[in-house]
Homo-oligomer: A and B are copies of this chain.
Amino acid sequence: MPKDRAPTRIQQKNRAVILEAALNVFSAHGFRGATVDQIAAEAGLSKPNLLYYFPSKEAIHTALLSGLLEVWLAPLHALNENGDPLEEILAYIQRKLEMSRDLPRESRLFANELVQGAPRIHDALSTDLKKLVDEKTAILTRWMDQERIARVHPYHLIFSIWALTQHYADFEVQVRAILGDEDPFEGAPLFVETLYRKLLTP
């Protein structure tokens, strides 16, 4: 374990390589299903070498999750009260859909954690996430009060957006098994746009 100096070039590279490998493995097999050997192999390092950069499997997982939570919530963060309500919401949805397409591993990493009761990020959910969602639903509610979008339960509106968009990443096998050759991300954007336009147009 290096002292707490500025990270060397090698440290920077190897930490990044490890996190990338860990993302692959954890997202595909969950925390318990992933093995340190697997991550090390994926990263092209020996196991002891990997454990030189992170003290434990748990530490890698935690570093990954906390590092990605910000990225994951950025689109919701960007929801802007001063924009046009419907366009803001639709833009949020499209951004989430793009993330499902471009960052499916990240989506599955969180899905794995959540479906098993979020043992490692429960705190972040009821603090950071709840705070962000409360903030944004307040905006939604104000828009509804001003009759700029139709009135619906704001929390369930957020849940529905998460569910719909992340479904394509989290349950990709199922979607592909049913769609066959058709690219899910061909029809999805139009479908969800139609859906939320109809739902929210006052």
Contacts and interface: CB of A to CB of B under 8 A. Distances in A.
Interface string A167-202: 110110111011110100001101110110011000
Contacts of A195: 152, 160, 195, 199
A36 to B, nearest CB: 14
Task: Among A108, A115, A126, A177, find the residue whose CB has the most chain B CB atoms closer than 10 A.
Answer: A115
Interface stretch (A4-12, A24-32, A40-48, A55-63): A24-32
A117 B105 CA distance: 12
Contacts of A152: 191, 194-195
A114 B112 CA distance: 10
Contacts of A117: 28, 173
A129 to B, nearest CB: 7
A192 B191 CA distance: 16
B163 A178 contact: no
A33 interface: yes
A3 interface: no
A143 interface: no
B118 A191 contact: no
A77 interface: no
A118 B29 CA distance: 11
A53 interface: no
Nearest to A160: B164
A170 B111 CA distance: 9
A103 to B, nearest CB: 15
Nearest to A111: B115
A13 interface: no
Task: Name the 6 nearest CB pairs between A and B, nearest first.
Answer: A32-B33, A163-B167, A125-B177, A156-B191, A163-B163, A126-B177
Interface of A: 28-33, 108, 111-112, 114-118, 122, 125-126, 129-130, 133, 152-153, 155-160, 162-164, 166-168, 170-171, 173-175, 177-180, 182, 187-188, 190-192, 194-195, 198-199
